[in-house]
Amino acid sequence: MDLGSNFPAKLEPFLLMAKSVKGAAAAKLIQDATSAPGVFVFSELLELPNIQELAKNEQHEKFLSLLQLFSYKTYQDYVEHKDRLPPLNNAQMIKLKHLSIVSLAANRRILPYADLLRALDMPTIRELEDLIIDAIYLDILRGKLDQKEQQLEVEYTMGRDLEPGKLEEVLAALQNWAATTSAVLSTLDQKIHQISLATEAAKQAEQEHEKALQANLKEVFEKQKDKSLGGGMMNRRGMHMGLSDRDRDPMHMDVDEPPESSKSKNRKASQDTQSKTRKRNRF
C-alpha cells in the first residue's frame, strides 16, 4: 500500500460536517481536524466555501490560516507567524513537525540531525529520533536512522497538499525531470547500440579467425598426408624392382660364404696336393 493512501478517508467525516457549519463551528471543526489522529491532508476541507468564508471574519480568520499551515506549510512558518495563529496543542505540534519532515525531505534525501534539530526545535537527539520513528509507524515516511552518521536517510514520503501558485513550479520541475530522463534514455540507447555493434563485430572476427585456423589446419594435414603417401609408394616401388631383377635371372642362386676354418683347411689341402704333384714330376 502507498504511503498516505488511507489519509483522505480519515478526512471524510470532517468534510461531511463542514458542509453544514459556519463561523465559530467551522473554526472548531478546523481545530478538531488538525488535532485528529491519522488526518494529514486537508486540501479538500480547505477548498469548501464554508471554510473559505472564515477569511471574511477577523475573529475566525486565524483558524483559516491554521488550516493553511497544516495543508502546505511547516513548523518554521508557525514560529515566524505565531502571533497570527491560534496556539497549538501537543497533538497539533507533533503533527506539524511530522509534516515538516515531509517538506524537508522533498528537497533532499539525506537529512542531518543537526538540520532537523534546528528546523523542528527539538531539544535532544533522542526526542528527534522518537519523533521520526512515530512518523514511520504512521506511514508518513519511509527511511532509516543512521546514528553513526547522525542523519535520516529518507526513502520516500507521503504527498502533501500544494500551496497555491506552486502548481506551475511543480509542472516546470516535472518537465525538467522528463527532459533529463529522456536525454538519459537516449544516451543509454546509443550506448546499447554501440555495445551491440561491438559485440557483433567481435563475434564476426572470432568466426573469421576460427575459419582461418581450420583452413590452415586442414592445409597442414593435407600436406602431411601427401608426404606420407609419397614415401610409402617409393619404398614399395623399390622393393618390387629388386624382386623382379632376381626373378628374371634363372641362374641366380644364393651361396652361403664358407666358414673361416673351412677356408683354412681348403688352402692347406691345396698346398699339399701341389707339393705331391711337384714330387712326382721330379721322378
Please give the tally of structural domains in the chain: 2
In this structure, is residue 256 part of a structural domain? Answer: no
- In whole angstroms, how large is the CA radius of gyration of the chain? 55
In this structure, is residue 267 part of a structural domain? Answer: no
67 pLDDT above the threshold of 90 = yes
203 pLDDT above the threshold of 80 = yes
pLDDT value for 279: 47
Residue 21's nearest CA partner among 52, 56, 50 is: 50
- Could you report the per-residue pLDDT of 223-275, keeping only the tens digit for each? 888 777 766 555 555 555 554 555 555 555 555 555 555 555 455 555 555 55
In this structure, is residue 34 part of a structural domain? Answer: yes
In this structure, is residue 130 part of a structural domain? Answer: yes
Do residue 138 and residue 186 come from a single domain?
A: no
Confidence of residue 33 (pLDDT cuts 50, 70, 90): very high
What distance in Å separates the CA atoms of residue 183 and residue 221, rounded to the nearest whole number? Answer: 57
Over residues 145-161, mean pLDDT: 94
The parent domain of residue 221 ranges over: 165-248
The chain-wide mean pLDDT, for the chain, equals: 84
Do residue 220 and residue 242 come from a single domain?
A: yes
Over residues 206-226, mean pLDDT: 87
In this structure, is residue 255 part of a structural domain? Answer: no
Do residue 13 and residue 153 come from a single domain?
A: yes
Exposed/middle/buried for residue 158 (C-beta within 10 Å: 0-12, 13-18, 19+): buried
DSSP bridge partners of 157:
141
Whole-prediction pTM: 0.64
Do residue 139 and residue 205 come from a single domain?
A: no
Tell me if 156 sits within 8 A of 136, measured CB to CB: no
In this structure, is residue 266 part of a structural domain? Answer: no
- Amino acid at the residue 57: N
Do residue 90 and residue 200 come from a single domain?
A: no
Conformational region of residue 139, where left means phi above 0, alpha means psi within -120 to 50, and beta covers everything else: left
Exposure string for 221-246, b = 16+ CB within 10 A, e = fewer: eeeeeeeeeeeeeeeeeeeeeeeeee
Confidence of residue 283 (pLDDT cuts 50, 70, 90): very low
Do residue 136 and residue 240 come from a single domain?
A: no
107 pLDDT above the threshold of 90 = no
Higher per-residue confidence, 56 vs 278: 56
Do residue 66 and residue 134 come from a single domain?
A: yes
Over residues 176-192, mean pLDDT: 87
Do residue 187 and residue 111 come from a single domain?
A: no
Q: Could you tell me the strand order of the sheet in which 110-112 lies? A: 110-112, 151-157, 141-146
Residue-by-residue DSSP string for the chain: --TTTTHHHHHHHHHHHHTT--HHHHHHHHHHHHHSTT----HHHHTSHHHHGGGG-TTTHHHHHHHHHHHH--HHHHHHTGGGSPPP-HHHHHHHHHHHHHHHHTT-SEEEHHHHHHHHT-S-HHHHHHHHHHHHHTTSEEEEEETTTTEEEEEEEPPPPPPTT-HHHHHHHHHHHHHHHHHHHHHHHHHHHHHHHHHHHHHHHHHHHHHHHHHHHHHHHHHHHHHHHHHHHHHHHHHHHHHHHHHH-TT----PPPPHHHHHHHHHHHHHHHHHHHHHHH-
Confidence of residue 109 (pLDDT cuts 50, 70, 90): very high
Domain boundary among 161, 182, 212: 161
Confidence of residue 167 (pLDDT cuts 50, 70, 90): low
Do residue 236 and residue 223 come from a single domain?
A: yes
pLDDT value for 190: 87
What distance in Å separates the CA atoms of residue 13 and residue 218, rounded to the nearest whole number? Answer: 89
pLDDT value for 272: 52
Domain boundary among 161, 194, 211: 161
Cα 49-52-58 angle, rounded to 5 deg: 140
In this structure, is residue 183 part of a structural domain? Answer: yes
What distance in Å separates the CA atoms of residue 10 and residue 141, rounded to the nearest whole number? Answer: 17
Do residue 68 and residue 131 come from a single domain?
A: yes
What distance in Å separates the CA atoms of residue 50 and residue 30, rounded to the nearest whole number? Answer: 11
Cα 171-109-147 angle, rounded to 5 deg: 165
Do residue 170 and residue 90 come from a single domain?
A: no
In this structure, is residue 265 part of a structural domain? Answer: no
Do residue 16 and residue 153 come from a single domain?
A: yes
Domain boundary among 119, 145, 161: 161
23-27, 63-67, 268-272: range with lowest mean pLDDT: 268-272
